[in-house]
Amino acid sequence: KQEVTQIPAALSVPEGENLVLNCSFTDSAIYNLQWFRQDPGKGLTSLLLIQSSQREQTSGRLNASLDKSSGRSTLYIAASQPGDSATYLCAVASGGYNKLIFGAGTRLAVHP
Amino acid sequence: GAVVSQHPSRVICKSGTSVKIECRSLDFQATTMFWYRQFPKQSLMLMATSNEGSKATYEQGVEKDKFLINHASLTLSTLTVTSAHPEDSSFYICSARRAFTSGGDYEQYFGPGTRLTVT
């Protein structure tokens, strides 16, 4: 059974810092991995999707890497801003129907 | 493109009544739709997977007679919470899957969620 773990559970940093959020999964047989952002009481915003054949994806200040063999992904946020404050969720697509299994998330607070 | 809507965004109902939540893919056809539930400060838990024209596949522990899913077309899936109770109060999120044009991998697009409160 696929399990996804995210570390740390919460993070509070001053504005401008570079951050690394970690995600690990138990079954390396995945189709893809996605990073999402969720603001309080809101739905999900897809940030980056890494196909199973890819090693990393970049979008603006965000960079996500994927190491399937070790079951790990990292989300790197450069030059953090208060607007980055949110919960970041990692999810892997595996099994029948490529269903997404989510981690518990990392709650990020960036203070001015 | 790839917009998914949910209706209603928020609903309050009395215990014992049924509530229907709609999930629509607005600009693409969804081969598969998923329904998730999220309790406060917890992650999303997959409830069921539905394919157009066939019965939904429910995750272990999810009561299929309580959470009725209908996927009547390639752009619409509905979740009906029957005989709702306060413990069913949660944030329900749907997603729709569209095949990539190349590579064979799939991406899911998420709706904005529906906040259900059962009093």
Task: State pLDDT tens for residues B27-47.
Answer: 888 888 999 999 888 889 999
Please identify among residues 12-41 of chain B the ones whose CB lies closer than 8 Å to any CB of chain A: 32, 34
Q: Is A47 on the interface with B (CB under 8 A)?
A: no
State residue A78's pLDDT score.
Answer: 98
- Nearest beta carbon to residue B43 from set A46, A52, A102: A102
Residues A50-76 have a mean pLDDT of: 95
State residue B89's pLDDT score.
Answer: 96
State residue B104's pLDDT score.
Answer: 52
Residues A33-59 have a mean pLDDT of: 92
**Which pLDDT band, with edges at 50, 70 and 90, does B100 fall under?**
low
Residues of B in contact with A66 (CB under 8 A): none
* Distance of alpha carbon A98 from alpha carbon B118, whole angstroms: 32
Q: Is B43 on the interface with A (CB under 8 A)?
A: yes
State residue B99's pLDDT score.
Answer: 56
State residue B94's pLDDT score.
Answer: 96
Partner-chain contact A103 B93, CB within 8 Å: no
The fraction of chain A above a pLDDT of 70, given in percent, is 100
Residues B81-96 have a mean pLDDT of: 95
d(CA A74, nearest CA chain B) in Å: 18
* Distance of alpha carbon A87 from alpha carbon A79, whole angstroms: 17
**Which pLDDT band, with edges at 50, 70 and 90, does A16 fall under?**
very high
Q: Are B80 and B18 in contact (CB under 8 A)?
A: yes
State residue B102's pLDDT score.
Answer: 54
Q: Are A51 and A60 in contact (CB under 8 A)?
A: no
**Closest alpha carbon to B31 in B106, B97, B76, B93:** B97
Three-state DSSP state, A19 = strand
More reliable by pLDDT, A98 or A82: A82
Average per-residue pLDDT for chain A: 94
Q: Are B22 and B76 in contact (CB under 8 A)?
A: yes
Contacts 24+ apart (CB under 8 A), A53-57: A53/B103
State residue B105's pLDDT score.
Answer: 52
- Nearest beta carbon to residue B106 from set A31, A46, A53: A31
* Strands across the sheet containing A19-25: A4-7, A19-25, A72-77, A62-67, A56-59
Partner-chain contact B93 A93, CB within 8 Å: no
**Which pLDDT band, with edges at 50, 70 and 90, does B55 fall under?**
confident
**Which pLDDT band, with edges at 50, 70 and 90, does B106 fall under?**
low
